[in-house]
Amino acid sequence: KPIAKVFQNNSDMNEEEFLTQLVTIIVLFCASGTGIYGSLTAGMTGDNSILISKSILDFFTAAIFACNLGYVVSIISIPQFLIFFVLFLCAGLIFPMTSPDMIADFKACGGFLMLATGFRMVKLKNFPIADMIPAMIIVMPLSYIWVTYIMALV
């Protein structure tokens, strides 16, 4: 809401719809599985190809959203940079503790989050995507517990 108050809603949409779209694009840009995985990969291996692909896609997506929301879309680059930069710096600590199964589960979780974001963008189903963000954090520990302890019993 503070960001929305600084940047006036100049379009013909009401404040609730404006905030709904703003939350949608914040999640789309800042909590995407592609961005998080790309930051971790770039920090660990130096391969920036995923982040470069994401930035090209985000540029055109931001241009489309800027037509409806205005200048507020440009402010989203600040938290996006901070989140991805911290992940880039922490990649040396996080990435060695992961396995290919954990990475695959993380990508799948990010895919579901993006699918829910897409449904919300086209107004097919209004998923609470901001409430789904913690899933991106807990999916790797749950995947580790599943593979290590539960699958060992089977």
Structural domains in the chain (count):
1
Tokens 């990969």 correspond to: 41
The model carries a pTM of 0.73
Mean of the per-residue pLDDT values of the chain: 83
Residue with tokens 């209004």: 126
Span 45-90, pLDDT tens digits: 888 898 899 889 889 988 988 888 888 888 888 888 998 899 899 8
- What is the torsion angle, in degrees rounded to the nearest 10, for the CA atoms of residue 76, residue 79, residue 82 and residue 85? -50
Q: Which residue has the tokens 């990649």?
A: 91
Residue 6 lies in domain: 2-153
Contacts of 150 (CB under 8 A, 6+ apart): none
